[in-house]
Structures are given as C-alpha cells and as structure tokens.
Structure 1
C-alpha cells in the first residue's frame, strides 16, 4: 500500500518532465529506469507503476510533445482561413516559438540521431509535416506556376525553420531574444514561396 501511495505521488507528468531533460543531456542508451528514478529521488518501482519499460516512457514523451505541437497548429488553422499567407506565417512562427520555448521537447522530437529511437516518432512527425504541407499546398494551388513546387516547397520551408531553431537552441537563445529575426526569416521564406523579392 505504501509503494502504491508513493507511485501515485510521483505523477506521470513529473516523470515525463524529468526524463525529458535526462534523455537530452545523457542520451537514451546511458539511462536506465533505475538511474532516472534515482535522479528523481525515488525507487525504480515508482516509475514502473506508470511505465513498464524505458522504451514506453520514451514513446510517451514523444507522443505528448507532438500532441502539444499539433494542438497548437490545429488551433491556428481553425482560427484562420486555409490558403491565406497570413495563416502560413502564423503557423511557421508558432513552430519556431514552440521549438525555442521547449528546447528539450524539440530535441527529442526532431534531433534524435539514433535510428532505433526515430521509429518512436515516425507517425507523429509525419502527422505534423502533413499538416504543415497541407497549408503550404493550399497557397501554391492558387498559382499557375506551382506544379513543380507543390511537393518540394513544404519540405524546404520546414528545413529552413528547423535550421533556425537548431541554431538558436545550440546558442541557448530564447524566442524573445530572436523574435524579430524569426519574423523576418518567416517573411523572407513566405515571400520566396510566392516568388517575390522581399523589400
């Protein structure tokens, strides 16, 4: 009974938040359920009350993080008109903001190099990219010259945002610190999508 009380006191959310930072700092392979629990000041049994194994814990992290990002994206799309450039700009800025306000989340979602771990985020990552591509293509389909870019443009825009976020994370820059640069970057990318020169 005492063990169950301790497990309930140690919430799923707290485990996920602590483990996220540990995975980013130490890497997936160097951690065990026992080492995660020890860092938190609990026995590993308290973790097993919520997660059967380390892989399940990692997958829960990835799923929660992508659900948070997708929720924000759906909210923006629901409040704006599909096919409008302003919608794409807001979506891109929100993505950059998410990455820089949640660097540990972002690293686990998009910067994990281990092929074995990448499989845990494949479905969620595809959903995120598909949603973004839908917005980009809604803009391009209104243009007569868009056929050759309908598939390449979403990926190019995403990679440009990813580079901006990765660079900023590497230098510990917050969103507030680079907000003006982020806005200019997004404007430049969106103007390029339409084939116009930024003034």
Structure 2
C-alpha cells in the first residue's frame, strides 16, 4: 500500500523534471539518486520504483526530449506554408524555438560533455539529425530546390542553427524575444548556403 502511494504521488515525470534541472546545474557526476530524492523531498529509495539507476533516469530524459523535438519538426510538415518563409526555413525556426524555449532540455541533448553520458546523447543526436535531414530533403524536393541533391546542405543548416541557439541560450532569452534575429539568421543561412553550393 505504501509503495503504491509513493508511485502515485512521485511520478516518473516529476522525477525526470527535477533530475533534468539538477543534471544541468550540477552536472551528471555532481548528483546522485540520493540528491535527486532530497531535492524532491523523498528518500532515494522511492526513485528506484521508477528507475533502476541514475544512467537509466538520464537516458529516459534524453529520449523524451529528443522525441519531443522530433514531433515538433514533424508538425512543420503538416501545417500550411507561412508567408515569406520556405518550409525549410520554418523547420529551422521551429528548431531554434525549441532550443531557446527549453534551454535545460537543449543543453542536456546537445551541450553536456561528460564522457560517462556522451554515448547516450550521441545515439539520440544521430537519430534526431537523420530525421531533420529527411524532412529537409523532402521540403527541398517539394520546392524543386537546386540543393535537393547536395548532401552537405542539411548538416550545414543544422550546424548553423545550433550555433545560433548556443550563443543566445547563455542569456536565457526566449524565442519571442529574439524572433526577428532568428528569422534574419535562417534567411541569411539559407541564402548563404545556396550561394556557396550552387
């Protein structure tokens, strides 16, 4: 009965939200299941009802965050074209919006550099980039864009938007606060890559 009460009160989501924040602020090695439990006001034993170890908890967070980003990218394929933007530019803006509006998630997904956990992130980063690349190539084909045959274009775009997010994420600015700069950046990026590869 006590175990069931703990499981209902202390959900996986609540544990993951707390752990995500602690992984960013203290680093992966700087926290333990015990410290996560203390942060939540529970004994660390109650966390083990949901996660066998810290690595499993971390991986669950990474997978959840990458799935969320992938879903947002896929949604761009389903809504009508926005005036003044190509679908490819919309995709880049959606990616930037996610990074700036979810800084803790983005930092865990793309910016943590702890060797112990890098393999968890690398596998999911690769899946995310493959999805991003597939969507970009689909848009370029639909638009009959000259770059549809250029394999380096999606990677250049990806790196360009990651650099933008990495710069602005330090100041904890939201997407809405810098939307004009983001639109200008994706326009410039799109045009520059086109000129370099045409």
Q: Please give the range of the TM-score, normalised by the shorter of the 2 chains.
A: 0.7 to 0.9
Q: 1:47-99, CA deviations, whole angstroms, 9 ceiling, x for partnerless residues? A: 11110100000000000000100011111123368xxx711111100000000
Whether 2:46 is the aligned partner of 1:57: answer: no
RMSD over aligned Cα atoms: 2.1
Q: 1:103-152, CA deviations, whole angstroms, 9 ceiling, x for partnerless residues? A: 000000000112331211233211211122223334279456775xx222
Whether 2:34 is the aligned partner of 1:34: answer: yes
Structure 1 residue 35: Cα displacement: 0.7
- Structure 1 residue ranges, 4+ long, deviating more than 4 angstroms after superposition: 140-147
Q: 1:18-46, CA deviations, whole angstroms, 9 ceiling, x for partnerless residues? A: 11000000000111101100011001111
Counterpart secondary structure, 2:78 = helix
Partner residue in 2 for 1:160: 160
Whether 2:102 is the aligned partner of 1:105: answer: no
Question: Which blocks of at least 5 consecutive residues in structure 1 are unaligned?
Answer: none
Looking at structure 2, the residues matched to 47 and 194 of structure 1 have their Cα atoms a distance apart, in angstroms, of 50
Question: Which blocks of at least 5 consecutive residues in structure 2 are unaligned?
Answer: none
Name the TM-score, length of structure 1 as normaliser. 0.87
Looking at structure 2, the residues matched to 64 and 13 of structure 1 have their Cα atoms a distance apart, in angstroms, of 10
Whether 2:195 is the aligned partner of 1:190: answer: no
Name the TM-score, length of structure 2 as normaliser. 0.88
Count of residue correspondences: 191
Partner residue in 2 for 1:73: 73
Looking at structure 2, the residues matched to 52 and 130 of structure 1 have their Cα atoms a distance apart, in angstroms, of 30
Instruction: Kindly indicate whether the alpha-carbon contact (under 8 Å) linking 2:147 and 2:153 is maintained by their aligned counterparts in 1.
Output: no
